Amino acid sequence: MEQQLTFADKKRKTVERAEFTEDGRYLRKVRSFVLRTGRLSDYQREMMNANWSKLGLDYQAQPFDFRAIFGNDNPVVLEIGFGMGKSLVEMAQQNPERNYIGIEVHTPGVGACIAYALEKDVKNLRVICHDATEILRDSIAEGSLAGLQLYFPDPWQKAKHHKRRIVQPEFVQQVLTKLNSNGFIHFATDWENYAEHMLAVLRQFDQQLHNTSETNDFIPRPDFRPLTKFEARGHKLGHAVWDLYFTKR
């Protein structure tokens, strides 16, 4: 007997909206992520299935109504690629005056994030399991975000894969339209080449963005960005991390 697919299982297969050319052919897109087939545990699956209506948001072709979602007018910060969600939950817990939305395409991380949010009784967080570029394009209203966080995205180390890096001029331009006045962009990476790439891309928007770095490049890790287990392990091995923090002019 074939096992019935649950909501969480189906999410693993529908993280992007299929698009087609005028003659009906599937439109292949350059994506910044690969859908890994890591095991979705029974616990993570149950967390998604049982709590999605409370903590999850689905892609929609029109902008989200943040006031209706959170029940307040607090500023909204969007994080792309939250991994297992521990640092995002901790940030939401530490900043109850802000609302947080996290996007992650890998369902084990989504399930783990929901479980941790419930454990910490965090109310100011919602999660999305979908392609972030589509969410930004269609589901986020212009001028509605207080900030955009992108921590340790896939660096796509090989030069031939650099086009897959999510931080590109088109991406930053799109983010700028979604930020409100004085909104921020905060990137972090442990790959020096990607850090330099990020800085070069952001510098293309000098008229619209202000670099808060005193040296006009990177900032020390700010206290408000929780130290992840991955990052702490890297520190012990002597790995550096580069943070960039820009604000909208």
Catalytic residue positions? 154
- The dihedrals phi and psi of 240, each to the nearest 5 degrees, come to -90, 160
Cα separation values, 59 from 128, 137, 156, 187, Å: 8, 11, 26, 24
Give 219's strand partners.
243
Which residues are annotated binding-site positions? 79, 104, 131, 154, 158, 190, 228-231
Give the C-alpha separation, 175 to 185, whole Å.
8
Which residues are annotated binding-site positions for S-adenosyl-L-methionine? 79, 104, 131, 154
| Chain-centroid distance, C-alpha 53 | 20
Give the C-alpha separation, 67 to 56, whole Å.
15
Which residues are annotated binding-site positions for substrate? 158, 190, 228-231
The SS3 call for residue 133 is helix
